[in-house]
Amino acid sequence: MSSENHADDCQEQSEDRTNRSTDTDAVAAGTADSRLDFEFISQEKVEPLNHRQKQIYCQKRTRFIEYLREKGKVQYKEVGYAEGSVKPMARLIQQVFEYVWENQGHTTTDLTQDQADDFIDALSADEIRRNDGDRYDGDSKRKFNDVLRCWFEWNNEDWEPAVTFESDGPRDNSDPFTKGEMERLWQASLDYKSIPTYNNVGPEERDRWKAHIAQELGIPKEDVTPEHWTERNTSWKIPALIRTTRETGWRCAMVARLKIQWYKPETQVIVIPREDAVKNDVQWRQKLSDEAADTLERWLDQRKNKTKYDGRDEIWLNRESNPYSSENLNRLLNDLIDEAGINPNGRKLTWHSFRHYVATYTYQEYRDLKMVAEVLRQKTKSAAERYVHVPEEMKEQAASHL
């Protein structure tokens, strides 16, 4: 046999071994995939994923389903969903992933908040439909919001859908305050939980106030001192929170993340790092007005003397020394709404209403959705448009001309 023929034979044998090895690896991967248990869905549903992605996705999906069963319904009470609800919710989250795999141009084993927002936008526009081609009704759409909220809670993320769904279709999640109401909220924050001075009340009234302060601070009544009274009437914590949110439209999650080192007093700018930006992947610089900066600096100066902030870098902590949650912030806002005498008149006023306020009046000033997107740190004009409303003042003016 010539050396040339021998070389050809060797090459063919080598290729044959390579092909057999590749076939063996494929069979092994297929066998391993078949052993993965994707509860409530078939193997065909995860075919877009490669072998390693399937393993990761299977583990993540299994843990999420366990979360639904154990505490998905009420997380802090560890109350889970009934088994009859777990199965449809597991299938709904799979539909979200399938939409992302099909429309994002690549497969992934996780969901971002932007991807969830895109899905809800498409659902609202009836671009996502049932298998029979019919549109989802409002109640079915609401269930997608519910399962996505559970997904992000499980991942320790604060996600609030920009659109909610009811039986009669989609509705904006929150309504904006008017300019007059925002000013009243600001004034209410300056007077929030003010009490009579220590020396201006009699013994009986003083005793009642001491019991009230003790309950709020979580300390024995006998430990309440005149200094505690003074602190209640001079704290800039709540005014700083309201004044800065009035200008920025902070999301609840952003309030929880804000750090003292991000604020630059020489320029009155808060610099938010890319990795901490909620629903963003770029750094942003938030300029504050003179009044907002002055209020924040007053609070930061007071904050240095409060022991519960020792070793902590969050700008604001709640009474339990934890970062504020959406529940904490909405409870605070409800108190301020009551103190300010604001009548919702059928509107849904939540902490998210600050963002709707900023968007609505920015648009009224500039008539530019690109400007609104920039102010709210939204990536697209269509996303920013969801926050723009017709101001109540304009509705009243229009009615007066009829």
Residues 243 and 296 sit within 8 Å (Cβ to Cβ):
yes
The pLDDT of residue 76 is 66
**Largest interatomic CA distance in the chain:** 118
Give the residues across from 286 on adjacent strands: 270
Coil vs helix vs strand at 26 = helix
Assess whether pLDDT exceeds 70 at residue 152.
yes
Amino acid letter, 323 = P
* % pLDDT > 90, the chain: 45
- Tens digits of residue pLDDT in 334-360: 999 999 999 999 899 999 999 999 999
pTM of the model: 0.57
Q: How confident is the model at residue 21 (pLDDT cuts 50, 70, 90)?
A: very low
- Tens digits of residue pLDDT in 97-114: 999 998 877 789 999 998
Structural domain spans, the chain: 1-27, 36-172, 179-196+236-400
DSSP letter assigned to residue 41: S
Q: How confident is the model at residue 401 (pLDDT cuts 50, 70, 90)?
A: low
Assess whether pLDDT exceeds 60 at residue 172.
no
- For the domain covering 179-196+236-400, report its CATH number: 1.10.443.10
Residues 386 and 380 sit within 8 Å (Cβ to Cβ):
no
The pLDDT of residue 131 is 84
Residues 348 and 357 sit within 8 Å (Cβ to Cβ):
no
Q: How confident is the model at residue 195 (pLDDT cuts 50, 70, 90)?
A: low
Q: b/e string for 35-52 if b means 16 or more Cβ within 10 A?
A: ebebeeeeeeebeebeee
Give the residues across from 328 on adjacent strands: none
